[in-house]
Amino acid sequence: MSYSDITSHSHSTPRHTTGYLAAGPLDGPLIIFTHGWPELSRSWRHQLPFFAAMGFRAIAPDIRGYGHSSVYSEHKDYSVECAVLDMVELHDALGGGKAVWVGHDWGSPVAWGMGAHHPDRCHAIASLCVPYATIDRGFDVTVPLIDRSVYPEKDYPLGQWEYMGFYEENFQRATAQMDANARNMAQLIFRKGSAEGRGLPSGTAMVRKNNGWFGGLPVAPDMPIDEDVITPEDLSVYAEALQRSGFFGPNSWYMNHEVNAAFFNTLPNAGRMDLPALFVHARYDYTCETIDSQLAEPMRSLCSNLTETIIDSGHWMAQEKPMEVNRHIAKWLFTAVPELT
């Protein structure tokens, strides 16, 4: 099965429209992939045909604010709770059978949210890079988990999350910098990881110090494309979608920390999760750094059936190391939910 076997679809309700990609048999068990910032359903282009060939009905939605899904004009419309409800509606349209949910970046709180708030809709939950019960609980939980040997508090109060503080303080400026040239932004951001940054502050920690992204420049610089992560065709698709929808929606995901924490706090048993769960660490992801810091500890304490694995990759691992990601997820599925395979 190849990329050509992926089909495009859309589902609308009175409250929201979700565009999505699909592959695999209509009667196959569902596996649903949720992307993060500033991506698209296309980010899972390597996973959809692979899991379709295993017999799954593989689905990748454009999350709200992106691609062919609804775009909104207020920050409050980009909470995890809103996105989880989008997925509930999409899941109903797909037949409502239990699904495996796989998330990355801001798509991870959405996948985790499905497992936590709607376990009846889930076989299992997998996440790349972002652990459960961290950023979906806001700064009050996440900041104490920062590795202060890398981010001294006096220099980096919010550690690698300084860029999120910049969004809260200078949202319009941050968004204008990205909207100024969406193609350059996509070309700049989708880059592979490197061992050279291990133990050093992430570039995201410098955004407030530099009074903006790109060293304070008004627009993303024109960098060579990293074809180890995306092709020129991929870049064109990302750039067109981001130019059309803009960065207000994608960036608004960073403006709901308190709302997201309140949503998490509605869970019984402090958010304990007993579903089979997989967490894939990216060794060279220095923003969502989970190997040397304590960022994964809340997940470990709350997930009773957790498998962890590591891939030598940067943040965009589903695109940088797709075969390794596929292999790790498939191996876990064989052991955690063998009835699906």
pLDDT digits (tens, 9 = 90+) for 123-138: 999 999 999 999 999 9
> Closest Cα to residue 246, out of 174, 194, 191?
174
CATH class of the structural domain 3-340: alpha beta
For residues 187 and 235, is the Cβ–Cβ distance under 8 A? yes
Work out the angle between the directed axes of helices 80-93 and 107-117 (0-180°, nearest 10). Answer: 70
Q: Roughly how many angstroms between the first and final C-alpha of the chain, as a whole number?
A: 17
Backbone angles phi, psi at 191, to 5 degrees: -135, 150
In this prediction, residue 297 has a pLDDT band, given cuts at 50, 70 and 90, of: very high
What is the domain partition of the chain in residue ranges?
A: 3-340
In this prediction, residue 2 has a pLDDT band, given cuts at 50, 70 and 90, of: low
pTM above 0.85, yes or no: yes
Summarize pLDDT for 194-242 with one digit per residue, the tens: 999 999 999 999 999 999 999 878 999 999 999 999 999 999 999 999 9
Q: What percent of the chain lies above the pLDDT cut of 70?
A: 99
